[in-house]
Structure 1
Amino acid sequence: MAYVIAEPCIGHKDLSCTVVCPTEAIGGRPSDPQLYIDPDLCIHYGLCASVCPVGAIFPQEDLPEAWAAYAEGNRDYFRRWGA
């Protein structure tokens, strides 16, 4: 399963995770409130989660219930905007 970027990223958008992702699965436009992970490109490497300074990145299976909608939100972002 893919990693998911959740609520703590909103307003922060630290780009450390984008630098360490080997598949370039993390993206977002400058106008977006947060970054997103493309679940079709994510290989569950996990380094992104370890470098996120706000603790916003979770394996989908460990995503807190309160943030469950972010899994679909990350997926929908790439369906709408592409990589």
Structure 2
Amino acid sequence: MPFVVTENCDACRYTECVQVCPVACFHADERMLYIDPDLCVDCGACAPRCPVKAIYDEADLPDTLAHWAGINAERAPGLPVIAKRQEALPGAAAKRAALGFT
């Protein structure tokens, strides 16, 4: 099962996860990242790198976040690939703190 980026990434767009992806399956819009499920090799290297715990193995998605699998599959293919670390969005640190991650 592929990995899925969920709502915690929205308005943060931390990119530590893309640095460890062996197949460049991450895509980005102006607000967040998405994983292309057709390219993801299920290595799991990305999930522990996310500072806001936004990435899940699709098999482990909580029911409340299950719809994100479809959002990633729909959005990722039409967006540019992101394979190098970029600065997080303005306000990302505040959102991270609000989510309870330090």
- Tell me the TM-score normalised to structure 1 length: 0.90
Task: Give SS of 2:74's match.
Answer: helix
Matched, 1:35 2:46: no
* Residue of structure 2 equivalent to 1:55: 53
Deviation, 1:46, is 0.5
Identity of aligned residues (%): 37
Deviation, 1:63, is 0.6
Task: Give SS of 1:76's match.
Answer: helix
Q: How far apart in 2 are the matches of 1:40 and 1:82? A: 15
Task: Give SS of 1:78's match.
Answer: helix
Which aligned segments of 4 or more residues in structure 1 are displaced greater than 3 angstroms? 79-83
* Residue of structure 2 equivalent to 1:7: 7
* Residue of structure 1 equivalent to 2:75: 77
Q: How far apart in 2 are the matches of 1:34 and 1:12? A: 7
When structure 1 is superposed on structure 2, of 72-81 and 58-67 the one drifting more is 72-81
Q: How far apart in 2 are the matches of 1:48 and 1:81? A: 19
Unaligned runs of 5+ in 2: 82-102
1:26/1:36 contact within 8 Å kept = yes
Aligned residues: 81
- Tell me the TM-score normalised to structure 2 length: 0.74
Task: Give SS of 1:47's match.
Answer: coil
Q: How far apart in 1 are the matches of 2:47 and 2:56? A: 6
Q: Deviations over 1:3-55 (max 9, x none)?
A: 000011111110101111000001213x2x21000001100111100100000
